A and B are shown apart, each in its own frame.
Chain A
Amino acid sequence: NAGVTQTPKFQVLKTGQSMTLQCAQDMNHNSMYWYRQDPGMGLRLIYYSASEGTTDKGEVPNGYNVSRLNKREFSLRLESAAPSQTSVYFCASRLDLITGELFFGEGSRLTVL
């Protein structure tokens, strides 16, 4: 049971390049999330998917797009990377609203030059 798996773990991009962060969970969870973590800023929600087929904006969605490919997978895309998107990105999932606990992936460290 791998839990939440993110790829890649590290990535360096040049300004303007695009990339996709992949996330998969094997816990049969309904809800999936993308957060970014910056020093002193805590965890800020980028996008989330309450269930397969739905996605919604979080606190800081600008510059990002997401796809809930199926129940297991939730990807985050940067179409034109900017230095302000340098961050550690965490994917997370949880069974449902009632259960509550978020399970996080190991994180993906992205640097945009």
Chain B
Amino acid sequence: GENVEQHPSTLSVQEGDSAVIKCTYSDSASNYFPWYKQELGKRPQLIIDIRSNVGEKKDQRIAVTLNKTAKHFSLHITETQPEDSAVYFCAASRTQGGSEKLVFGKGTKLTVNP
């Protein structure tokens, strides 16, 4: 089955700096890669996702890149703000082939220092 590794487990940056979180996956058939943000005591919420037919996707200060050959994808946050402090989870799954499992990485706790 799918296995998702996420690094680093903790990340501390100064406000205004960029933050990068990286994930690798094992199932070459995976074609959907979302990122979720979970603030303290809250539920996870989708912030951006990418499908395997594109290499990069941006939404304001957030971008995700995908390298299918190397089976890794990354989340990039530019101009970080204190409200970006949260735990971020990457995930991977297939959207066909009969497997509905969305497998998550173990999370990265991002702290943005004012």
Residues of A within 8 A of B (CB): 31, 33, 35, 40-45, 48, 50, 56, 58-59, 90, 97-98, 100-102, 104-107
Contact = CB atoms under 8 A, between A and B. Distances in A.
Contacts of A97: 94-96, 100
B104 A42 contact: yes
A44 B104 contact: yes
Chief secondary structure at chain A's binding surface: loop
Contact residue range for chain B?
Answer: 20 to 34
Contact of A100 (B42, B95, B106): B95
Contact of B104 (A31, A40, A43): A43
Contact of B43 (A45, A59, A100, A106): A106
Interface of B: 1, 6, 9, 32, 34, 36, 42-46, 49, 89, 94-96, 100-107
Nearest to B33: A100
A25 B5 CA distance: 30
A45 B103 contact: yes
A101 B46 contact: yes
